[in-house]
Structure 1
Amino acid sequence: MRDVTSLINSSVDLETTLQHLVDAACQHDAWSMAAVMSIDQADGNAVVVTRHDPSQLTKSYRNRWTLATSPSLIALTRNDPVIIRDAQESIEFPGYREEAIQRGYRTVVVLPLGCRDMEDRAMVLSVQSRDVVDLSAADLAFLQTIVHLGAIAVDKAHRLRAEHAAAAQLQNALAAHSSLMHQVLSDGSVASAASMVETFLPNAIVVVDLTANLVVAGRSPKPDLIDTDRWREEMDDCMSRQFLRLARDISDQAGLEMRKLYLNCGGHHLNLPAAVEPLVVDGKTVGALIVFSLDANFGDLDHLLLQSARFALSVQLMRSHLRFQTESQTSSELFMEIVSGNWRNVDDLTARARRLGIDVNATARLVAIGLPETVPEKGKTIPELHRSIMRLAGQLAPQATAAALGEII
């Protein structure tokens, strides 16, 4: 029994463990052949997973048994061994009788293993002898001990496989985080960062950048209704305002929020569950990461990747936010000085403007924009309007400059 225990426990993967199990069963003098079968109840068959047969008569092997005529289902249902004293004479299991005559075995014992294979199917151990065996209590105890040791070894193999898979997933998550941080620190764009995030997460995403009034849509959350190209077109045409409003309404102190988003996209009325994660810089919301259809399959490592994505996107938006603040502050100071008339040296003023890409000697048109006193949250609206004007100016008139002078742009 010590040798049997060592043999069964010497493997770490499931396939080798099962092979050692059938080999160990045949170390008893009575048993010449053995096999482990998985019970596929959906298909109605018992399927041979591994076997031990020194004769190597491969053409005689039968690897699938109908459950209706197999003792395997009876062994599992009763959770007790099924003993066929002489399979060549048995009329209860005609399939076994036919193969027993063909392969030359007599006594058969089928025992439930008490564990499952990688497809979550129950398994049984079947042992066969060349001669008719009058099974003693000791013989049955030997087989049941092997089954018990085998179940322990199989459970260990499952745990090791799960641990290896978890370690690999964690390694992938760390590599994803490293790649993402390298992307955002190498002066990448929000769009490129969002595209990389979507390759790591199993769900469709949308990234909102309030520093540029920009909405970046990933793949379609409902590909069976709307393909990705149409989804992005609809986002550019009409849905972006809804996502910008959603990002602005998030509290700066809010964490991950689960919401229902009602969207009209391409003639389809969509009701999409989504997780909304604010992207915060210096205690101020500068964007949002929206992840669609967070469900029970979204595991701990997916949440870790989500937090990594949130952090990386926040860094990307912080760069944009700081760049905007620096450019805005420098331009605003220059124009404030020009408008106030407090400057003294025109050459110095011209040089400062030139460093900002502004040619003060060129003919220009001055447009002043203000908001009425009735506008709510005026102090918050002016910076957003300023960002929108700068973004549009960069797209339509690169030579234009926008500066905020208090409540006037």
Structure 2
Amino acid sequence: MVVFLLVLIVVLALLGAVHWYVWRRLVRDVTTRGSLPRRLGTVAVVVLPLLSFAALGSSRAGAPFVIQQAVAWPGFLWLALLLYVTLALAVGEAARPALRAWLARRDARAAVPATAAAPATAPVPVLVPEAAPAAETPAEPAEPQPAPAEPAGPAPAEVSRRLFVSRVVGGTAAAVAAGTVGYGAYGVLRGPRIKRVTVPLAKVPRAAHGYRIAVVSDIHLGPILGRAHTQRIVDAINSTQPDLIAVVGDLVDGTVENLGSAAEPLARLRARHGSFFVTGNHEYFSGADAWVDHVRELGLRPLRNERLEIAAGFDLAGVDDIAGESEGQGPDFVRALGDRDRARAAVLLAHQPIVVHDAVRHGVDLQLSGHTHGGQLWPGNYLAELANPTVAGLERYGDTQLYVSRGAGAWGPPVRVGAPSDITLVQLASKQA
């Protein structure tokens, strides 16, 4: 508990410092004191982070779903904007001195006196008659002259240059951040694109050569992504005509009561050997058992630490997510894989890539996972690398290959930058073919 409080204090302090920096560069430095833009900017920098906290906590606090939807858009989008406007302003700091120096040199060249170019004329001598010498009188002491006053502040030209530079850098940073977030949001709302990957497996029989598994993860239905998002995903998957569909966790961010209707298009998924589902960590934030029952009603088969034989000639297994351990429902590899025939190829559905080491020990040939979102918001991929063996794509661990999807939705901000959403069509290749 003490560690949690310390981490919370550090995070809040960091957020406070970042918001102060953004306020200083985008509000104070580009507006005049007491002006309406400064007042509005100050209010925005106070209200927007409060909406972000509300968006993050409203679901777990049990707020009405309409309230969750009302705060989600501004609250989550502000988090993405804050990230990229801060990065853009930080880059702009390097440009400030150079821009101000260039303006100073330009102003100095323009301020050359016009008289400097005019030719000098010789003075005309004037004859004045000599006056009679006057009686010497004692010279009066000269009155002391006041010292020149020190300037009270920067010259008006310097103030003007600072304001101009602040507005150029701040405006550019805001435009870059808004463009980045806007394009990233468009990518999420447009829906995921199909990615095709061929995975050769030594144990797959000739009959399974070319077998197609549609892998979709991290759909994240919630206050922002709803039924239309699910329908786009279903249409994209069905267009590939897969042999099997694997939904590998983090389907939802909310309860069945609020999001059950948003998931209903999943009932229209079509594959020759059916659709399968394993839990992700977010299911355990949203009522995992209720969601397992609901997806079963929609025609998906949950694999909860169990295995079945696919007619094409390989085993398909699925394990619960690690987050379920707090509820006694974590992954059980012995139950799912312990007594199988290891001469057959095994494909494992597991939400988090980190369990690949267990998969290696149990002779899994291919693990299909999600969870990472590919980092979702650059440079988040570097943070994701610290916690996951693979962030996206196909890699080998011993005799086990691990494929990690970037996911079809987004958590928090409905924005992706540098990690476009995907649905992956994994095609198995038999070395006997």
TM-score (norm 1): 0.23
Larger Rg: 1
Relative contact order, higher structure (CA 8 A, sep 6+) = 2
Higher strand share goes to which structure?
1
